Structure 1
Amino acid sequence: MNKRQSSLETTILIIELLKRIPKSWWITAQQLKQQLAEIGLDRDIHTIQRHMKSLVESSHFPIDMNNRSKPYGYRWSQQAVGFTVNALSIQESLILQMAHKTLKNLLPSSLMDSMSGFFEEANRNISHAQDPAKEIQWLSKVVVAPETQPLLPPELQPDVFNEVSGALYNNYWLDIAYRNAGGEVKEKTVMPLGLAQQGPRLYLVCRFQGYDDERNLAMHRMLFARSTSMTFERPEGFDLKQYSKEARFTFGEGRKVKLSFRIRKDAGLHILESRISEDQTYREHEDCYEISATVVESRQLQWWLNSFGEDAWAIDCQSIEAVVA
């Protein structure tokens, strides 16, 4: 390799390092090494550490180093604007701003923080645009309307989401202190398996150490969370999407039933338009619809049926096993 090629490869490595330094959290040299390896830049840890030391000591880049404990962490200084190669267009800024609102509680905090520079640039582009572009007006032209009584999201303890999402992302065991619905505080070590947002609330799906069943823990009831450095193998049979389909977040246990009921036409028309299952069928009578569908039994299903009051009647739920028999 000639000197020019070596200098070019070093420059590319430095650029990729700068792109991966977050602003709101600490990243280690090992984490940077792993991220670079994913794009084909496989370098030994000593090379990464050497370059990071040079960047911290350089007056050109406001990068902080946390050397209070090993492994050392790196991040942009709070006053820094971060590092980007290309400027975002107004269209890209709009998409990023909308994505940030939607994804901020569903992606690992490490990933969201690593994108903080892009989000901040998007906000600057939109707020400092010279003309009232149609792209900017779009933000005031779309809204997600609540289907039920809107509730404000409960407050999370500081750093809880960062620790939980970090442990979930890295497959690390998680130490928590949790206050249950009865007010009792318990300290547990849990295996984080997934996050679910249900309305304004955020839930962690996990397994307690020593158990093989899943639990749902409300994030706002966590008084403390700390990611450990102990890794675990994710259970092969666990599927978060299937877990959700089984109504585990709506007080169900995955038991399917054959539901049938009658409902007045003015109250039930929307159920014909937005079906409650793929196999839903209906018969039209003079004053009502008779609806049948296979659904997962849950407390939320019961609440939904009760919400119709006297507009729904002849409600019957039979287990699938009973129907087959």
Structure 2
Amino acid sequence: MTIDNHTLLRQWTMLRAIPRYPLKITASELTVKLINEQFSVSKRTVQRDLLELSQSFPLTLDDRNKPYGWSWLREAPSFDLPGLSGHEALMLAMAEEYLKELLPSITNDVLDPHFKAAKRALKEQFNAKKISNWLLKVRSISANQPLISPKIPPEIQKVVSEGLLTEKQLNITYQKLGEDENQKYRVHPLAMVNRGNLSYLMVTFFEYKDIRLLAMHRIKSAELLKESAIIPIDFDIDKEIAKGRLNFGDGKTIQLVLEFNREVGEYFLETPIAVDQNYSEDDSKIIITATVADTPQLHWWILGLGAEVKVIKPNSLKKQINDEVCRMHINYQNNKSET
């Protein structure tokens, strides 16, 4: 059968407009898209094209409920013109490795065939094989003690990410740390943040306005509701992070003054602890001053540096660190007597 250029271009445009299952598009919607692309076409022609294309491409018609819609099969391989270059395949492979946990589940479903196509390209193309070696030469690791990530059931990840993406409320069952009983909440999802090996959902509960953090792995069930989530008009994820929210603080900041042994202090001249950091130095020590969020994470970080650092100000933090060091000393003294 001979296909003229106009028909070929129209059908190619249609194929690009059809989403991957579970998303779908109706013949009427496709007709509008084609008209907007300057094609002179009727709905009847679009319906005929769809039936014809479904004989050669992995397309499916969802006719369970009206309006009926067309989709690419979920498992259908990705294709496009031109094909993936080695560099494009490498970008997709690295995106899968480093971004997959940050993307909505439905986006990962849509991208999965592209990720698979990238892997095929890296295996099959001679030049791409060389480029794929980059994946064996680059890693991103945490500066903290590595921990094994807790498992998040995929069905919960999918429902929560859909609620966040579509800005819908959720009914969840949640188990707080150290408690046996589960709690039920209706929440308004605001944002999701990966902190090390853990993922946290920022929410508000019921009709309250206080922002809370929920560890994703402690959500035992999640139900997507029809009601729209209420997003505070002044909510800003970056401002919440800057307040130390993800370090489990209450948003307060302090003027911190630390005295470092010179060798360790030089490291924090290269990687400042705050944008307003200042310092003074002599032959043996470096004193750093900075405005930082007052959080448990800050306390853990200072304690982790051991004898290489001393808190000068504020006095309240100095006392807290000193008290903790004393408790540690007592613990080790008790262990010594036991042995």
| Preserved contact between residue 179 and residue 185 of structure 1 (Cα < 8 Å) | yes
| Preserved contact between residue 191 and residue 207 of structure 1 (Cα < 8 Å) | yes
Secondary structure at the counterpart of residue 207 of structure 2: coil
In structure 1, the residue matched to 2:110 is: 114
Distance between the aligned counterparts of 1:149 and 1:280, measured in 2? 26
| Preserved contact between residue 75 and residue 113 of structure 2 (Cα < 8 Å) | no
Gaps of 5+ in 2: 317-339
In structure 1, the residue matched to 2:11 is: 11
More displaced 10-residue stretch of structure 1: 123-132 or 9-18: 9-18
1:222-237 equivalences under 5 Å are 222-237=219-234
Secondary structure at the counterpart of residue 119 of structure 2: helix
Q: Which amino acid aligns with 1:268?
A: G
| Preserved contact between residue 92 and residue 118 of structure 2 (Cα < 8 Å) | yes
Q: Which amino acid aligns with 1:313?
A: K
- 1:291 corresponds, among 280, 288, 308, to 288
Distance between the aligned counterparts of 1:249 and 1:222, measured in 2? 18
Distance between the aligned counterparts of 2:268 and 2:162, measured in 1? 40
| Preserved contact between residue 157 and residue 224 of structure 1 (Cα < 8 Å) | no
Change (3 A) 1:26 1:299: same
Change (3 A) 1:130 1:282: same
Distance between the aligned counterparts of 2:229 and 2:162, measured in 1? 14
Distance between the aligned counterparts of 1:116 and 1:186, measured in 2? 34
- 2:169 corresponds, among 166, 173, 177, to 173
Change (3 A) 1:170 1:202: same
Q: Does 1:185 align with 2:185?
A: no
In structure 2, the residue matched to 1:96 is: 92
| Preserved contact between residue 173 and residue 219 of structure 2 (Cα < 8 Å) | yes
Distance between the aligned counterparts of 1:97 and 1:270, measured in 2? 33
Change (3 A) 1:156 1:80: same
**What's the CA shift for 1:285?**
2.9
Gaps of 5+ in 1: 320-325
Report which of the two has the higher share of strand.
Answer: 1
Q: Which has the larger radius of gyration?
A: 2
Q: Which amino acid aligns with 1:232?
A: A
| Preserved contact between residue 11 and residue 49 of structure 2 (Cα < 8 Å) | no
Distance between the aligned counterparts of 1:41 and 1:255, measured in 2? 53
Q: Which amino acid aligns with 2:259?
A: R
| Preserved contact between residue 251 and residue 298 of structure 1 (Cα < 8 Å) | yes
**Equivalenced residues, count:** 306
**What's the CA shift for 1:66?**
5.2
In structure 1, the residue matched to 2:211 is: 214
In structure 1, the residue matched to 2:139 is: 143
| Preserved contact between residue 76 and residue 82 of structure 1 (Cα < 8 Å) | no
Q: Which amino acid aligns with 2:150?
A: P
Structure-2-length-normalised TM-score: 0.79
**What's the CA shift for 1:168?**
1.0
In structure 1, the residue matched to 2:156 is: 160
Secondary structure at the counterpart of residue 29 of structure 1: coil
Distance between the aligned counterparts of 2:128 and 2:293, measured in 1? 48
Distance between the aligned counterparts of 1:199 and 1:146, measured in 2? 7
Change (3 A) 1:10 1:288: same
Distance between the aligned counterparts of 2:263 and 2:208, measured in 1? 48
Structure-1-length-normalised TM-score: 0.82
Distance between the aligned counterparts of 1:52 and 1:221, measured in 2? 50
Q: CA RMSD in A?
A: 3.4
Change (3 A) 1:305 1:243: same
1:266-285 deviation line (CA, Å, top 9, x unaligned): 22221111000111111113
1:118-141 deviation line (CA, Å, top 9, x unaligned): 211101011223357442221112
**What's the CA shift for 1:83?**
4.0
Report which of the two has the higher share of helix.
Answer: 2
| Preserved contact between residue 259 and residue 294 of structure 1 (Cα < 8 Å) | yes
**What's the CA shift for 1:246?**
0.6
**What's the CA shift for 1:29?**
3.4
Change (3 A) 1:318 1:29: farther
In structure 2, the residue matched to 1:322 is: none
In structure 2, the residue matched to 1:130 is: 126
Distance between the aligned counterparts of 2:223 and 2:37, measured in 1? 31
Change (3 A) 1:47 1:287: farther
Change (3 A) 1:174 1:290: same
More displaced 10-residue stretch of structure 1: 63-72 or 157-166: 63-72
Distance between the aligned counterparts of 1:112 and 1:56, measured in 2? 29
